[in-house]
Amino acid sequence: MVPQSIFASLMFLPNVAFAQIPQTFWPASVPLVLKSPYLQAWLPTWHTINPPAVTAPRFWTAEKVLGWGGYMRIDDVNYQWLGTNGPGNKTSLMNTIITPTQSIFTIQAGPLEVNITFLSPIEPHDLVLQSFPFAYYFIEFAATDGQAHKVQLYSDIAGGWVSENDASLLLQWNTTQTLEAVYHCISRKDKADRTLQEVNDGAEDGAVYFGMAMRPGLTWQTGSDSAVRTQFNNSGTLTGLQTGTTDKDRPVLAISVDLGSVESTSEPVLWAIGLV
């Protein structure tokens, strides 16, 4: 038997009981996705105490930046909640909770308190589910001023999820839209020649899926990061267009949701990411 105290010491629960005290201690890196040796994302905390919107999420080895963005427009003002270097006002981090399966950031974005939960499920009683190479992240928010606000949510992934960040490598991608879901799929163009090959511990023969269950207000777009992120920044909705199928300007694959005018989320807005 593992004593409960040992198990508890593995969990990092900094501010649960002291929610108003600013956080002063950080682990070196916060896990965001932790599903297989090839499907991992970590948020280094070395520069800052405001991780989700000022530090680029990385793979677990080397310095590989994955390319991962998150934005939300509130009353036509764009805020960044994940990734770096995009358009949008900064958000502030209020709290972080890390459990064995989830990392939960509470941020303040303008008038909204927003919880961003990164979930890598552990399902020991169902080996089929446990082997499913997908992780999830979802957003819930509530207005701190008690008013309804126009809210649009956005997230994208980039080519770093599927191969080394080398601009000379060609990628291919496509988008599938059904009545139930929208999902993007991206791989190296020469995936078939890369069977069982790794670069810096990453799988070069994988296909990465990024999707969301169909819901009102869902739009998607793929293309260069500046084109797609500017489209969201300026209008809060995406074009439903795929720009190119192979491109040395590593693309982003984006999915956004326009929630209309709301005071809080009635159900979480959830993205799924997998590497097959």
Ligand X SMILES: *[C@@H]1O[C@H](CO)[C@@H](O)[C@H](O)[C@H]1NC(C)=O
Sites of contact with ligand X (CB under 6 A): 77-78, 87, 89, 106, 110, 113, 115, 140-142, 172-174, 185-187, 207, 230, 233-234
Taking the least distance from each CB to ligand X, the nearer of 185 and 218 is 185
- Least spacing, CB of residue 173 vs ligand X, in Å: 6
Taking the least distance from each CB to ligand X, the nearer of 44 and 94 is 94
Taking the least distance from each CB to ligand X, the nearer of 44 and 87 is 87
What lies within 8 Å, CB to CB, of 11 at 6+ separation is 98, 99, 100
- Least spacing, CB of residue 107 vs ligand X, in Å: 10
CA distance 272 to 133: 10
Handedness of CA 120, 253, 59, 56 (dihedral sign): negative
The phi and psi torsions of 41 (rounded to 5 degrees) equal -145, 135
Buried b vs exposed e over 75-94: b needs ≥16 C-beta within 10 Å? eeebbbbbbeebebeebebb
- Least spacing, CB of residue 193 vs ligand X, in Å: 13
Please report, as a single letter, which amino acid is at residue 162.
Answer: V
- Least spacing, CB of residue 63 vs ligand X, in Å: 25
Q: How far apart are the first and last CA of the chain?
A: 35
Taking the least distance from each CB to ligand X, the nearer of 63 and 260 is 260
Taking the least distance from each CB to ligand X, the nearer of 44 and 235 is 235
On whether the CB atoms of residues 254 and 154 are closer than 8 A, the answer is yes
Taking the least distance from each CB to ligand X, the nearer of 185 and 272 is 185
- Least spacing, CB of residue 87 vs ligand X, in Å: 4
CA distance 242 to 204: 23
- Least spacing, CB of residue 74 vs ligand X, in Å: 8
The tokens for 141 are 């928010």
The tokens for 275 are 């590497």
